Chain A
Amino acid sequence: MISTQLFKKIKPLIFFAIFLPSLFWSYQFINGALGVNPIEKLMDNMGEMALRLIVLTLFISSLSEFKKFRFLIEVRRMIGLFAFFYVTCHFLIYIALDHFFDMTFIIKDIIKRPFITFGFISFIFLIPLAITSPKIILKKLGFKVWKKIHYLIYPAAILSSVHFYMLVRANKIEPAIYIFLILVLLVYRLYCKIIYPQLVR
């Protein structure tokens, strides 16, 4: 079993492991090593990384309830913030590189295309989570309020995985796996927090 103390020591390593892909892809982008449609590739990479990290934080939330995996909670905030970082990169690439700040077009695109609408709402939901992530704010809000805000991760996760699902043209197995994982984790959470307590009462 890994102790929380030991885990804290390797936290910097985890930090770099998650940060590195963004540096690597940016380097590849600048050097023309992302294929012949580099903007699309960079945007896809960032978006998919964000989705993976979102699913990872959900896993951590559920797993860390078990004594054996309690240490994982140490990195949940960091991974959540990285998810927000990657989503922000994904969104900024869409605005700045894909559409070159053509705001009338972008606003129309967000409203008109359901898959972009879903992705955008998901991004909006993640903003309060990022803002309320510092410990000071958690203390100011109180744990109950803070927790309520952070339940937003579930609709955000569902919307972002559906966003990915709708983007893929055929063989939607990969995005379907993300949706499935998120729903399983959500149902498990609901069971633990709402259904099970009522059963034992």
Chain B
Amino acid sequence: MKILPSEITPYKNYLNRRKFIKSSIATSLVLGASSGIQANHVSNQNIYNNQLDENDSLNSFEEITTYNNFYEFGMGKTDPAENSGDFKPKPWSISLEGLINNPQVLDLEKLLRNVTIEDRVYRLRCVEAWSMVIPWQGFPLAEIIKMADPLSSAKFIQFVTVFRPEEMPGQKRKLLPWPYVEGLRMDEAMHPLTILSTGLYGHDLLNQSGAPLRLVVPWKYGFKSIKSISSIRFVDKQPDATWSMLAPSEYGFYSNVNNLVDHPRWSQGTERRIGEFKRRKTMMYNGYEEEVGHLYKGMDLRKYY
């Protein structure tokens, strides 16, 4: 079986795609002098490799961008890559709403001038028991929260995906109640691991990956990392989250990766890393227990799954 030429040499694979990727040197040179509407992504393989945890290797650009759950573009894993061509991620704005001192509509281009784009290599674990390792570029969600200046009554944040049925064919059908919504507790949202991503592999996010701006919360199942965010609402009560509303017994609000609490359909004890033959053992909090375990101290994780 021909598994993974990409897994052995992901960089080679990546280089092949350089025609769509700004050269890393050129990008470094123009960094700071914001040229386009999007962030300037530095693509540097050494940075990615330095951030890789032991036993992990990067998934290829192709793997990451052709196997997606993004029902706005269809339910199949390859649908998002195939059906997202009409989606226009620029220009883009995000509205900050709710219990904050600075409600505003942020222009993404302007926003990106005021943040530093960082590289973050994270494992992504889907609730369907598959996983990937992805070199994201983005900035901490905390930066936007600071701009919003939440009131002390704001305990949770809700995120909303854009609703554009003309550009997102899946939204023409009632696959899910649209728009897709997700949420985090304030301390989860402020956690330094939580980022808003604008790119991966040094390339602006492709539409199927949630262009132009998506959440990445690496210790939670992938569906929490909402894509193509159009608004961020600060609220005082635990907000609705799409999957959790749809099947509360299957998807909890927290949805932290937990190898000990099984989903009724998938054992969460193991996972298939895309590109690998044998399953891996799933790690508590997707391997980020040291960083995030304290957030859930004293909570019954069987009740708050």
Residues of B that sit less than 8 Å from A by CB: 1-3, 5, 62-63, 66-67, 71, 75, 77-78, 128, 130, 173-176, 246, 262, 264-267, 269-270, 272, 274-275, 277-279
Contacts of A113 in B (CB 8 A): 264-267
Give the distance in Å from the alpha carbon of A104 to the alpha carbon of B274 in the complex: 23
Contacts of A37 in B (CB 8 A): 67, 77, 130, 272, 274
Contacts of B272 in A (CB 8 A): 37, 39-40, 98
Contacts of B174 in A (CB 8 A): 171
Instruction: Answer yes or no: A8 CB below 8 A from chain B CBs.
Output: no
Give the distance in Å from the alpha carbon of A37 to the alpha carbon of B128 in the complex: 12
Q: Tell me what chain A mostly uses at the interface: helix, strand, loop, or mixed.
A: helix
Instruction: Answer yes or no: A36 CB below 8 A from chain B CBs.
Output: yes
Least Cβ–Cβ distance between B127 and chain A, in angstroms: 9
- A109→B267 contact, CB < 8 A: yes
- B1→A36 contact, CB < 8 A: no
Stretch of A24-32, A133-141, A175-183, A187-195 contacting B (4+ beta carbons < 8 Å)? A24-32
Instruction: Answer yes or no: A35 CB below 8 A from chain B CBs.
Output: yes
Contacts of A170 in B (CB 8 A): 71, 75, 175-176, 246
> Which residue on chain A has the smallest CB distance to residue B78?
A35
- B1→A30 contact, CB < 8 A: yes
14 pairs, A vs B, C-beta closer than 8 Å: A29-B1, A32-B1, A36-B62, A36-B67, A37-B274, A38-B1, A38-B3, A102-B279, A112-B267, A113-B264, A167-B265, A170-B71, A170-B246, A171-B173
> Which residue on chain A has the smallest CB distance to residue B59?
A36
Instruction: Answer yes or no: A115 CB below 8 A from chain B CBs.
Output: yes
Query: Which residues between 89 and 104 of chain A lie within 8 Å of chain B, taking CB atoms?
Result: 97-100, 102
Give the distance in Å from the alpha carbon of A50 to the alpha carbon of B66 in the complex: 27
- B2→A30 contact, CB < 8 A: yes
Contacts of B278 in A (CB 8 A): 100
Contacts of B128 in A (CB 8 A): 169
- B279→A99 contact, CB < 8 A: yes
